[in-house]
Structure 1
Amino acid sequence: MVVPPWYELPPPGYGGLEQVCAALVDALVERGHEVTLFGAGASTGTSARFVPTEAELQAHRLGQALPELAHLARVNRLISPEVFDLVHDHTTTGPLVAPLRPVPTVATVHGRPKGELGDILREVDPSVGLVAISAAQRRLHPELRWAATVHHGIRWDGLPHKSTPGTGPVLWLARFSADKGPDLAIRSCRAAGLPLVLAGKLDDPLEKRYFAEVVEPMLGPDVRVVRNPDRETCLELLLAARSMVLPIRWEEPFGMVMLEAMATGTPVVALDRGAVPELIRSGVTGVVCRDPAELPDALRQAAVLDPGDCVTHVRTRFSAERMAEGYEALYRDFAVSAAPEPVRAGLAPATARH
C-alpha cells in the first residue's frame, strides 16, 4: 500500500485520503492479508508493516512535485516480486511510474480526473488498474481505462452514535474554500433561524485569504468558528449537531465527511453535486437539494429524520469491510492476469477485468 508522504495514517485531523487508507489497511489485515505500508514519518497507527521512505512527514511541502516523486522512486527500489504480489497506489503521480515496478499495480484516483490530473491519468499505461471512488467521478472522464469502482468505507471500532436527533447547531465541516460553500451554509442557516458551527481546515494561504475576504465579514453571534479541529473535536461536534450542511459548488468525487456524519446519526443536507446522491438517501438519511434556495427548508426537514436510519445506511453500504471486499476482487484479478502461465493454471477463476 503506497500512500502520499504528507500525513500519517490515520490522520490526527484533516485528511480524508489518509483516513480511508487506514481503514482499508486494517480491514485487509483482519481478512488475512499481509500488508506493507509505504509512507513517511516515524510510525503508523495501522496494523500494517510500516516502511517509511522519509523520516519526516512532508505536509509542509504539500503540493510540490519532488517530495512525492522521490517517495515513489524509493518505493519502487524496494518492490520485489519475491516479496509482493501487488501494489495499491494512492498517490497522484504513482500510476505514471507504476510500469517500472516488477509487480502489477492498481491505483485509486482520489481527485477530480479533469484538467492536469486528467492529463496525467490519460497517459497511464494500460497495465495499471485505475479505480474510481464513485460513479460521479467516472462520469467526469469516462474515456479513462477504469478497472473498477469501489466506494470508500469507514471503520466502526469505538465509533459512538446517537439514538435521538441532536439539538445542537447545524454543522459545516470541510476546508475553507468556495468549493465547499461555507458562505451558503451561513445564509441557509440564517434563513432557517438555526445556529451554525463552521469547523474546518484553515492553514493554507488560499484558505486564509478566502476566510478573511468572504467568510469573516459574514460572521455574527449565530455562527461559531472552529479552526483546524482534531478528530476528537470533530466527533464531538458531529454527535451534538442536529444536522450537517454541505452546500458544495463542485463535482466532489466522494465526500468522507458525509459518511462520518451519518455514521454518528447526523443527517446531511447537501446540494446535488458530484457523488452526493450516491451517498445520501434523500428523505431518509438527509436531504439532497437541487438549488441553494431549498437549503433552509431542507435543514428544518432533516431535524426530524431518524438517526438510526443514518447509522444503518452507512453500516450496510459503506463499511471498511465492504470496501476491502471490493478491492480484494480487483487484487485477485490483477494478480492472476499478471502471473506467469504455469501459476495462472493453478489458480481459481477470477472476475473478468472491465
Structure 2
Amino acid sequence: MTFEELQQQRHYLLLECVSGSNAYNLQLPSSDRDLKGIFIMPQEELYGMTQTAQVANSTNDEVYFEIKRFLELLEKNNPNILELLNTTDCNRLYAHPLMSMIRTEDFLSRLCLETFAGYAKSQIKKARGLNKKINQSHTAVRKSIMEFCHVIRDSQSIPLQQWLTENNIRQEDCGLAAINHFRDVYALFHRGQFTQPVQFKGIFSGEKANDVQLSAVPKDVRPAAIMNCNKDGYTVYCKDFASYWEWVALRNQARYQHNKELGADYDSKHMMHTFRLLTMAEEIARYQEVRVFRQDREFLLRIRNGAFTYDQLLEMAAEKLDNMEALYAASDLPDHPDPEKTAALLTRIRATFYGQKK
C-alpha cells in the first residue's frame, strides 16, 4: 500500500481529519491545510511478506497510519495519535463506523505525563538551543585550525599567524615536536635554524587540515617557539559551525522572518505549541479528556505574536511543569493502557472489516 494507492482505494480508509493548526483552532490566513488519517491494509497484504505501517505524500503534510500502527502509538499515549482520535467533528472529513470501537477513555493513562509534558520539556530544551542559534552568527567560511593556535612570546601568547608574519616564516617550512606531559603543546622549529637541510612536514598538511602534524626534528636544538593548539576549542567550534549552517539550511524561512520582524529571539510558533502541549497535559490529568480544539486561542496566539520574552515563557513553563507531577499523582488514571485489550480490539476491527468485504 502506497499513499497513491490509498487515495485510489479509499474504501480502506477508517478515519480522515484536518490536522495541525486548523484542528487546534490556531490557524492563520497563511496556515497550511494538513491531513491525518487511519487506514486498514488489504487482507492479502496482511497475510503477505510486506506490510505498511504508514503512508504519506511527498511533502509529509498528509499522513495516514495503518490501524495496527495507530493502536500501537495510541497505547503509548502518543500526543499526535491521541489528537487525531479526538479531532472535533467539524474537522473530521470521514469516520468509518468501526471507529466507534476505539474509545479514548480506554487508553488515557499516566503515560501522558511523559508523552505530553515530557515532549514539551524536550521542546523547551530544543528552544534553548534554537535561542542560541538565533543569537549567534557564523561566517560562511569555516575558520581554520591555525586560528586556534598560539605561540608564547615573553609572558604572553600571540596568534600563530601573527608570529609567522612577524618573522616572515611560512608554516610549510616549520616542524613540530610533541612536548612530554604537555597536552596539545608543541616545540616549533624552522628550517632556518639548521645548517644542514631538514625535511619538515609543515605545521599543517594544508588549508583544510583539521589537526597539526609532527615532523622528525634533530636533537639538541632550541625551538624557535612554543606553540599551543586549542584542539578542544576547535572541535566545539566546528560542531557549532556545522549545526548553525544546517539549521540555516533547514529552517522555515517564513517563520524565521516572522520571528525576526517580531524581534523575538526564539521560535514563537514552536513555543506556542509547547504551551499547547503543557495545557493539554494538565487537562488530561484533571478531566481525562484530550481537548484538541483550543479555547485558549487568544493566549496561544499572543505567544506566537511575540507578546512574551523568552525568559518569561521559560518561567511560565517551569511553573506548569512543577505542578504537573502532583496533578498526575492525584488523578485516577491507570499507569498504562491494557495491552491485552488493545490486541483484542485490533482483532475485532480486522475481523469485522474483512468480514464485511467478503
* TM-score normalised per structure 2: 0.28
Structure with greater proportional helix content: 2
Task: Identify the structure with bigger relative contact order (alpha carbons < 8 Å, sequence gap 6+).
Answer: 2
Q: What TM-score do the two structures reach when normalised by structure 1?
A: 0.28
